A and B are shown apart, each in its own frame.
Chain A
Amino acid sequence: MKIGLVLPAVPGYSETFFRNKINGLKSKGHEVLLIVPYSSIENKNGYHIEFGPNLNGGSLSKVFNSFIALIKLVFTSFQSLNQFWNLERKSGTNTQAIIKKAIINCHLLKLQLDWVHFGYATTAIDRELVAKAIGAKMAVSFRGFDIGIYPIQHPGCYQKLWEHVNLVHTISNDLLEEAFQLGMPKGFPFVKITPAIEVSQFKSGAREYFKEGVIKLLTVGRLHWKKGLEYTLEALSILKKRGFKIEYTIAGTGAELERLIYAAYQFDLTEEVKFIGVITHEAVATHMATSDIYIQYSVQEGFCNAVLEAQAAGMLCVVSDAEGLSENVLHEITGWVVPKRQPELLATQLETLIKLPETILKSTSERAVNRVIDEFNLEKQQNAFEAFYHY
C-alpha cells in the first residue's frame, strides 16, 4: 500500500514513535511518504519526503509561488483539483477560500495514495477533503496536545474532520474520551495503538533500591510546562523537609529551564537537583539503570515513551493521572499513579513507596518490566499498524 503520513515536520531522532511506525510499515513492504510543510532541511534521515509549497517569503514571492503552484496543479492533477473544488463547494466553502486551500494542499493533491494519515489531528485542519479528492482513505491520530490543548482555544476546530475521516488512531483511551467530548460521534471507528519501545535497549537486571539511604529520582523530557516539573520540585521539597535524602536528575532542556532552576532554588533544592541538559539515548539508559524512581508528574501527557523505557529498565515509576499516563502505569500494579497538580499527594505517595518492603518494590517492577515487554514492544506496534491500514 502507499501511505502518505502528514506531519508538522520531519521526525527528529528522538521522535521514536513515527520512526518505529515508518520502519515497521516499510519492512512489511508498504511505501511510506512523509508529507511535511516546506522547509530547507538537508538531512532527510533516509525518508521519502514530499514538501509543501514555499509560502514563507515576502508578500510578492508568496503571490508568485502560490500562482506557480496553482498553475502546476491545473496542468498535472486537474482531476483531483476538480474533485477537491466540487467537494469543498458542496460543503459550503467560498471560491476564495477554496483557492487558498488548493494552494496550501497542492503537494497533497498531486499524489496517488491509498491512505492519507494525519499524524496529529491539528495537521488535518483545512485538509479534511483532500483524501477524498485524490481517492484515498483518510486516517487521523490523536496524540495529546491536539486533543487536550489545541481545541480549548479553537472550539469546533474538528467538526469537519469528524465528517470525513474514515478511521481514527488513538494512543490512549483517555484521549478517545476527550475526542468524544469534542464532538466525535459515538461509535466512530477507531483503533488504539499505544507507543512502543525497543525493549532490548533497557536491561532491568538485579538491583538494590535506595542504596545507602539515598533516593535517586529521574525525569527525562522537554522542560515544558506540560511536564508539571514545578509540582514535582514542590513535592520533593516536602520530602526533604520530612528528612529524606534525595538526588533528583532532570535530563532535557526547554523553555522552562530558568523557571525551574529558580523554583529549585526557592524550594531549597539547589544541592539535590541536577539539570543535566539533553543526553543521548545511551546515556538515558545508563541513568535509568542507576536511579531508583522515575517521576512523570505531567499536567497533560499523551502517553510518554520515557515512562515505558523507565519501566523496562526496572525503575519504580510514579506518574500523574494525566490522560494516557494512567494506562501507561497501572496504579499499585506496575507503579504508582497520583492525581495531577497536587504536590502534597505526590510527596505522600513517594514517602509511602520508599517505606515499602523491598519484595513489593521488586515485584512491582517485575510486573512493569513484563507488561512493557508483552504489551509495548515494537513488533506488536508494527503489526497493529499493518492491520490498521487493512481496516
Chain B
Amino acid sequence: MEFIAPRMRIVILAGEIPATTFIDSLINGIAGRGHQVMVMGTKKGTYNYDKNVISIAQPQSYITKLLRFIKALFSLRMAELKLLLNESKTIISFINQVVYYAPLIQFKPDKIHLQWASLVTQRELLFDLFPNKVMLSLRGAHINYTPVINRKVAEKYQILFPRVSRFHAVSNAIAQEAMKYGASENKIKTIYTSVDDKYLEKEIPQKAHLNELRLIAVGRFHWVKGYSILIDALKILKVSNTKFQLKLIAGNDIPEEIIFAIHQAHLSQNIEIIGNLPHPKVIEMMGNSDMLILPSVNEGIANVVIEAMAIGTPVISSNCGGMTEVIEHGVNGLLFNNRDAQALANQIDILSKMDSNQIFEMVQHARSKITTMFTRERMLNEFEQFYNE
C-alpha cells in the first residue's frame, strides 16, 4: 500500500548539479509525487529536473554573486542577517553566507536534506537557521574512510552529528560506521538504492557455458575499487590455466600502477580496459558476461551489483561495507573475504565450475532480492516517510 504523505517543501543540498544518478532519481521521484523540491549545488553540467523542482546553481561570477547579495538583503529579516553577520569573519564571507543561505530561508523548507557529510562541516549555520530540520545521508568516502584517515574530520563529526535530526543510511554497515562518530541509532533509517524498473521487466536468460570465462568489472580507477586485488586474483587463475577475458570498464585515466601490475602479471592479453561508455552499453556488456566482479575494499551498496543482479548476471563481490546486505553467499551470489586475492580466485573458480542450472537458480534468487528490496517504488515510499517523520 502506498504511503500518502502530505505535500512537503524539501531542500536537497546535492554538492554538485547534476548530482549522482541516485540523487537525481530521488529529486525527480519526490517532486514527481507532488512535493516542492529545491535543489542546490555547484553547476557541473546540464540538467533537466521535474517541473516541481527549483534548481539553484551556486553563482560562479562575482557579478552574479553581488546581484544576488543585494536582492537577498531586501528579503531577509534583521534577525537572520544578524546571525549571518555574527558568523562571518570578513565582508566577503558575509556576502558568501548571505548568497548561500538566502534562497533556503526564502523557500521555507520543511526539511533540508544534505547528501554528503562534508556539507555538514561546511554549513554549520544550517543547524541554527533550521533547527530540527537538517537531515543527512550517510554514504561514500565521507563516512567510510575520510574520518578514519583524517582525525580532525572525525572530531568535527562528533560535534555536529548529534545536531542532525535524522540520518539516511545507504546500508546498515554505513549506519554502524556513522555511529562511531555520534550518530545515534534511533535517528538512522536505512533506505536502499533502487534500480531502474526497466531492468526488471525482461526475463532472465539461461546462459550457456563457454570455453573461456567472460568477466566484467565496472567502476572508476581508485584504490578503493580494489583493482590491484582483482589483478592478483587473475594472476592466480592464469597460473592454474583457467581461460578468461576481463572487460574492465572505467571512465578515468588508467593509473600507472594498474598498467604495471597487468604487465608484471603477464595479463595484457587477458584484460581489456574500456573507457567511458553510455550506461545502456555497460548494461549490455554486463548481460553478455558470465560474471560481474566487485573487488572493492569499501562500498556502501554498489549500484553495479544491484544492476547485475537485476539483469541476471552472477555476481562475485568482496564482503566489504554493505555488500553482505544484498548478497547472501551461495544463494544469490558469491562473496569473498575483503582484500584477499586468493579467496577471490577461489570464488571465480567455484562459479566457473557450477552447472548452468545452479547458476540459473542463483540469478533467479538475485532478481527476486532486487524486486523485493531495490525498486524505485519502495525507495520513494521510504523517503516520503523519512521526510515526514
A residues in contact (CB < 8 Å) with B: 148-149, 152-153, 225, 230, 234, 256-259, 261-263, 265-267, 299-300, 341, 344
Contact = CB atoms under 8 A, between A and B. Distances in A.
Contacts of B338: 266
A22 B259 CA distance: 34
A265 B150 CA distance: 12
B354 interface: no
Given A152-B263, A258-B145, A266 B232 contact: no
Contact of B256 (A149, A230, A265, A341): A149
A347 to B, nearest CB: 13
A148 B342 CA distance: 26
Main secondary structure of the interface of B (DSSP, over half): helix
Interface string B289-309: 000000001100000000000
Nearest to B261: A299
Interface of B: 145, 148-149, 223, 228, 232, 235, 255-257, 259-261, 263-264, 297-298, 338-339, 342
Nearest to A224: B257
A259 B224 CA distance: 8
A299 B261 CA distance: 9
Contacts of A148: 260
> 10 closest A-B pairs (Cβ-Cβ)?
A225-B257, A259-B223, A258-B149, A262-B145, A152-B263, A261-B149, A265-B148, A149-B260, A152-B259, A262-B148
B145 A152 contact: no
A262 B149 contact: yes
A261 B148 contact: yes
B190 to A, nearest CB: 22
Given A149-B256, A258-B145, A341-B235, 10 more contacts: A148-B260, A152-B259, A225-B257, A262-B148, A265-B148, A266-B297, A267-B339, A299-B261, A300-B264, A341-B264
A225 B259 CA distance: 12
Contacts of A261: 148-149
Contacts of A262: 145, 148-149, 297-298
A80 B52 CA distance: 73
Given A230-B228, A234-B339, A266-B339, A300 B145 contact: no
A153 B259 CA distance: 8
A384 B84 CA distance: 70
10 contacts: A148-B260, A153-B259, A225-B257, A256-B223, A257-B149, A259-B223, A262-B297, A262-B298, A263-B339, A266-B339
A258 B224 CA distance: 10
A324 to B, nearest CB: 15
A43 to B, nearest CB: 30
Contacts of A300: 260, 264
Contacts of B257: 225
B357 to A, nearest CB: 35
A299 B297 contact: no
Contacts of B232: 341
Given A234-B339, A266-B339, A341-B232, A152 B260 contact: yes
